[in-house]
Each structure stands twice: as structure tokens, then as C-alpha cells.
Amino acid sequence: MWAMDMESYYGDLEGDEEGLSYFERDDFDVYDDVYYPKMSFWLLCESCLLPVIQQTVSTTMPLMVASFLCKLVSSLLSTGHETGVSASVVHISSALFGLYILYSFFQSSMLYLLISAVLGYILITITMFKCRAQCGLCVSLTIVAVIILLEIYIVDNTSWHKIRGSQMLMSMKIISLAFDISNCAIDYLPDMWQYMGYIFNVGTVIFGPWINYHEYCKITKQHLRPLSFSWLLKILRSFFAALLCLVISSCLLVWIILDHHWKWLLAYRDAMSFRFSHYFVCYLSAVSLTLNGLGATESNGEVKWDLFVTRPSFIELPRSLVETVSNWNLPMHYWLKIYIFKNARPLGNFAAVLLTYGASSLLHGLNFQLAAVLFSLGFYSYIEHVFRGKLALIFDACILAKKCKENCTHLYKANNPYVIATNMAFVGLSMFHLAYLGLMFDSSSQEETGYDMKHTLSKWSSLDYLSHWVAIGTYLFHLLI
């Protein structure tokens, strides 16, 4: 959606006399590594950076305004209680603002989301009174079945690709609410307005992030979270970070690394472009949630606007793929850990890992590309975890997939030169795997409808499936030592 083919732009420009008024035609060379980047930066700003920023601001402004208005309404009406007339109005306003934004983004396609939400409430109500202990499992299986039916039989590919993110967020909320009721973390059935306000909360309905029901209910206590400089600073920082990630993804990477470079460098570029587009969405979700007055922590009466949805530094230079997975989307990682992994833990760690990645794949929809990447990432992270665990045991060194605590019992600590070299080697290996796995998330004709199996396999085939072979070799070596 946001990507721009800069090579095509420059190709068209070469035949446009008026477009070359910035410089003499004889001096213009697309592949001049010295002269071209310096002279083309202003064209890059005019043709990509500024249009992308303007489009982003104009597209997201209704969401930001609605999120802020919802906070104002909540601040005026909040009483500090989750019940009562004022609290009901707060929940209704949260739902109405969210439904308006859904219609603004998806038009009539939002009806699928509305129907799914109503079905979810009916299921939670029935199972809570009939078989409360199984509420989470029953609702989860039904929601997954609804997602499959919508994608395969009801919604066309283009519309589904647009609403898939919001459908996933809504499904996560419904499932988490059902499990919290099963586990008695919530000891009452939310009324329709509380439920709809949570599911369609305007601050999370488009970009996320996922929040649990208890966090959402703090919307009725907005008088405890007044407008402040720290609140405004969090919004400005997150919005600037979102725009920076977007221009890096859409403009700068394709300007720096052109299509005639080495195929592995191009793979790294395309994967990095996808990652930065993900950071853009995460930072934007932090903006909308903060504008809505949620996502803060409270300690000793002090409100801290310290929400983090992603940590790019842990992903771009990852200690391990395990670290990448846990920092990719912090709220979703928490959701998968609490509601999927822990419930599947009795089946064994490996089975729990597979079920966790399977659940994530199903929530994203029946998409071979996403499923292939998620399951590959699951196997890779598990292999790396057990392999580095065995190496750490053999050499008594701090080379685990996760960083050791300060008081760990290893003989060779993290500051040892050999430990540093080993961990840096695994950083390089993780970057190699990420370039391979993210290669197929490029801008192509299939972007609007989703990528199929042929596209995914053709991308990996162009790199000789090298990452998968390395992962298999790592696992075999793990078995031998």
C-alpha cells in the first residue's frame, strides 16, 4: 500500500524533458554510485517522502481525532467506577467512535466484523452459564472456524486482505475475554455496552495493539489520567517514529539499495522494508492508544506513558530469533504466551510451541505465505534455543538464546571475548534467517489480495532454500554434540 517503485519512477523520468529540469540529461545516471544519490535526494523527497507522509497524515487523521475525542468524553463522564450511567455512556462512546472509524476505513466490509463480534458475545454468554470452565476453548474454536469461513467462502480476497488485521485484533479480544471468564480472572459477564466498547475501542480497532479487558476498563477512570506534557511527548515521539519507519520502508531503502545489487542484499532490503512497515504500524498503534488515554502504567499515584508495542533495536540486531519473536509485537507475544502457550504447556514444550505458532497463523487467516514464515520461525527459534542451550552447558558460557541474568552461574560471562564473538556470530545468523524469511513480503501485484504458495516458494527458491538447509544442519549438529 505504502511502497513506491522508485526504479519505475526514474525510468519514466528519463523520457520526460520537463522532469529533468533539475539537472542536465547528460549528467543523470541512475547507477552512478557517486553522483546519483547526491543529485536525486530532492527528487526522492518530492516523489516519495512528502507524498507518503501527506497520505499517511490524511488517512490516519480521522482515527487520531476520534481517539482523542473519545478520551475527552471519557474524561468528562468518568466516575472512577465501571458501572453506572456515566460509565455506560463512556463504553457506548468508545464503541460508536470505533464503529465510525471502521466504516471510514472499510465501508460495508465492516459488517463482517460487527457480525463476528455479536456472535462472540452470544457464545460467551451461553458458555459462561452452561460450561464456564470450557468457555475459552469453545469460543476459540468457534472464532477460528468463523475466520476460515469468512476467508474461504464469504469475503472476497481484496476485502478480506483489508479487514484481516482488524479481524485478528477483534478475535484476540474475544478469545482473551473468554479465557479470562473461564479462569475467573473476570468474575462477571460484561454487559453489551461494556463488551462492544472493548471490542470496538477506537484506540485499538484499526492498528491495535491488543489490550485485555481490565486495561480497557480503565477508560472509565480517565480523571486519573489527565492531559499532561508526558502524555503529549509520548504521542509526538511515537508519531515521529512511525513516520520515520514509513519513509525508510517505502522510500529510503529502495533508493539506497537498487535492483541491480546482489540477490542476498536485495533480500535483506525487502525483508528490512517489511520490518520497518511493521514498526510503522506498531508506533501508530501506540499513538492511537495513547490518544485514547490507555496504555499507561500507574505507580504510587504517578501515571507513566511508557507503552511499547515493539522494540526495533532487538529485531534489527537480534541476539537470537527467540528475542526477535518476543519483541516483534509485545502485546501479541503476551497474548500468545498467556492464552495459548500456557494452556498447551501440558502437551510438552515442543507441542506448545507448534500450537502457539499455529494459533498465530490461523488468526492471520489461511495464508500460505504467513503460515510458512510463522512455522519456519517457530522451528528456527526452537532449534536455536535447544542448540545454544546445549552449547552453554558444554562450554559453561553465557551464550544462551536469551541474555543471562547478572547472577548467572556460568564460568565465562558475557564480557569474555570468546563469548562476545560467539554471540555476534549468532546475531549474524539471525539476520541471515530474517532476510530469508522476510524476502517475500515485497510490493507486487498480489499485495492487495495476499500472496499465494507459488509466490512464496519462488522467492525462497531464488535463494536455493539456503536458510532452511542451514536450520536443518544446525539441528543435526545439535543432535550430534
Structure confidence by residue, pLDDT tens digits, 159-211: 888 899 999 999 999 999 999 999 989 988 999 999 999 999 999 999 989 99
For residues 136 and 182, the answer to whether their CB atoms sit within 8 Å is yes
For residues 9 and 47, the answer to whether their CB atoms sit within 8 Å is yes
Q: 32-36, 264-268, 366-370: which has the highest mean pLDDT?
A: 264-268
Indicate the pLDDT class of residue 481, thresholds 50, 70 and 90: confident
**Cα dihedral sign for 476, 477, 480, 481?**
negative
Instruction: Report the distance separating Cα 249 and Cα 243, nearest Å.
Output: 10
Q: Residue 133: what pLDDT?
A: 84
Instruction: Report the distance separating Cα 180 and Cα 321, nearest Å.
Output: 30
Instruction: Indicate if the pLDDT at residue 479 is higher than 70.
Output: yes
Identity (one letter) of the amino acid at 423?
N
Instruction: Report the distance separating Cα 153 and Cα 145, nearest Å.
Output: 12
For residues 422 and 399, the answer to whether their CB atoms sit within 8 Å is yes
Average per-residue pLDDT for the chain: 84
Q: Residue 447: what pLDDT?
A: 55
Instruction: Indicate if the pLDDT at residue 16 is higher than 70.
Output: no
**Least confident residue range of 2-6, 130-134, 299-303, 467-471:** 2-6
Indicate the pLDDT class of residue 348, thresholds 50, 70 and 90: confident
The per-residue pLDDT for range 32-91, each reduced to its tens digit, is 444 444 436 778 888 888 999 999 999 999 999 999 999 998 888 765 555 556 788 899
Percent of the chain with pLDDT over 70: 88
Q: Residue 79: what pLDDT?
A: 57
| Catalytic residue numbers, as ranges | 364
Hunting for cell 486482505 — which residue is that? 161
Indicate the pLDDT class of residue 9, thresholds 50, 70 and 90: very low
Give per-residue burial for 366-380: e unless 16+ CB within 10 Å, then b: ebbbbbbbbebbbbb
Percent of the chain with pLDDT over 90: 50
